[in-house]
């Protein structure tokens, strides 16, 4: 049995997520593992009356844009890993990632990390940190793609 049979790669389409996708290609090809791309849409929490906001008005264009971006990324990945697939979920990002690990039977997560610190970390939290804590399988975090990074 190969060490990894199913690799989950969550993406927010950022440079660090792009690096995570690139890092996932090698083990997927080497071990013949399945590779699933995942994008999670996390709806913003509004500070005003939620009853007056129609979530469908916000969600529909977000889903359409995410589906287009995910399809483009999947086409690139399939050039190297033909059996790759993708999923689009809506919810709290870290929770959806961990739920997807279980749902698809992933045995490795490769996740881009933004490396926020200070107030940005406190206000935005860390998806990668939460996934590392909650995931039932190993998580490889990848930093890269930012202005200071030379490469992935």
- For position 122, what pLDDT does the model report? 43
Q: What local confidence, expressed as pLDDT, does residue 120 receive?
A: 45
Say what the pLDDT of residue 145 is: 61
Structure tokens, 49: 């009356």
Strands of 85-90's sheet, edge to edge?
Answer: 85-90, 34-41, 6-10, 108-112, 139-142
Q: What is the per-residue pLDDT for 47? A: 46
How much is the pLDDT for 46? 59
The pLDDT of residue 18 is 95
User: What are the pLDDT tens digits along the chain (152 aa)?
Assistant: 568 999 999 999 999 999 999 999 999 999 999 999 999 998 766 545 555 556 567 788 889 999 999 999 999 999 999 999 999 999 999 999 999 999 999 999 999 987 655 444 443 458 988 999 999 999 999 987 655 555 67
Q: What is the pLDDT of residue 45?
A: 65
Task: Classify residue 68 as left (phi > 0), alpha (psi -120 to 50) or beta.
Answer: alpha
Task: Give me the pLDDT at residue 124, please.
Answer: 41
pLDDT at residue 59, rounded to an integer: 82
Q: Are 86 and 37 a contacting pair, CB within 8 Å?
A: yes
């Amino acid at each position: 049995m190969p060490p990894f049979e199913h690799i989950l790669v969550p993406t927010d389409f950022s440079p660090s997520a792009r690096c995570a996708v690139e890092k996932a290609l090698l083990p997927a090809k080497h071990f013949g593992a399945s590779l699933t791309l995942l994008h999670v849409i996390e709806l913003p929490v509004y500070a005003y009356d939620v009853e007056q906001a129609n979530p469908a008005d916000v969600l529909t264009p977000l889903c359409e844009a995410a589906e287009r971006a995910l399809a483009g990324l999947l086409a690139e990945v399939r050039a190297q890993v033909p059996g790759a697939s993708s999923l689009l979920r809506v919810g709290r990002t870290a929770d959806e990632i961990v739920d997807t690990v279980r749902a698809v039977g992933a045995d490795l997560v490769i996740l881009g990390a933004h490396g926020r610190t200070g107030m940005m970390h406190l206000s935005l939290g860390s998806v990668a940190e939460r996934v590392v804590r909650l995931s039932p399988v190993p998580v490889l975090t990848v930093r890269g793609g930012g202005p200071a990074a030379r490469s992935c």
